[in-house]
Amino acid sequence: MSLAIFDLDNTLICDDSDHLWGQFLVEKKLVDSAHYARINTQFYDDYCRGELNINEYLTFALSFLAEHPLEQLLQWREVFINEKIRPLVLPAAVTLVEKHRSNGDTLLVITATNRFVTEPIVKLFGIPHMLASEPELINGRYTGRFINEPCYQQGKVIRLAQWLDDNNLDLKGSTFYSDSHNDIPLLEKVAHPVAVDPDDKLTQHANTQHWPIISLRT
């Protein structure tokens, strides 16, 4: 039994759930639209360039969670999943996950996007394990802060190493699927790195390293 690891955004789904959540809040007029949209897009552009300050971004993204009761947040999130996410689930990604499941592999999603946004998305794929950036929740209310190492770039390597240790697992025979050059640190750790509809920087790196490149969008 080997570990099959999947990035989420632009890998299993064909867009970025973190950015889409911000757009959803703007569309529903749940935030100061013009201001929030500008900052949300700025952070996303930083991410695409590999220049995101993850601490600053999480402070921005999690502040909304701290402003509202959990029950209301969950209602908004359900609308978000149904309207924005379900149409983005890639059938080929579902097939790929099921192939690894039928092989008896341990399935894990590892994503920089926070758990509040991603947990129900991962459940759509029936993947039992997930590592994500973790918003702090105290007495049923989000605080706006985050706990643990943010699950971004080298942080994914750190969080995965902790998870492997906790679960008495290793990376022997492991596979990691990702679209982003931000995941190169983790791609270099697994036995079988796979670039999925990769961005330009990851395409170049994958070609240099002779990693397989696949598409789940065709």
- Cβ-contact 127, 109 below 8 angstroms: yes
Which run of H or E residues covers position 132?
Answer: strand 129-138
φ, ψ for residue 105 (rounded to 5)?
-75, 155
Pick the catalytic residue from 9, 16, 183, 197: 9
- How far is it, in rounded angstroms, from Cα 115 to Cα 117? 5
Sign of the CA dihedral with 41 first, then 49, 87, and 159 last: negative
Query: Torsion over CA of 158, 162, 167 and 169, rounded to 10 degrees?
Result: 50
Pick the catalytic residue from 7, 16, 179, 199: 7
Tell me whether residue 165 is one of the annotated catalytic residues.
no
Tell me whether residue 9 is one of the annotated catalytic residues.
yes
Residue 193 CB partners (closer than 8 Å, separation 6+): 175, 176, 178, 187, 206, 209, 211
Residues annotated as catalytic are: 7, 9
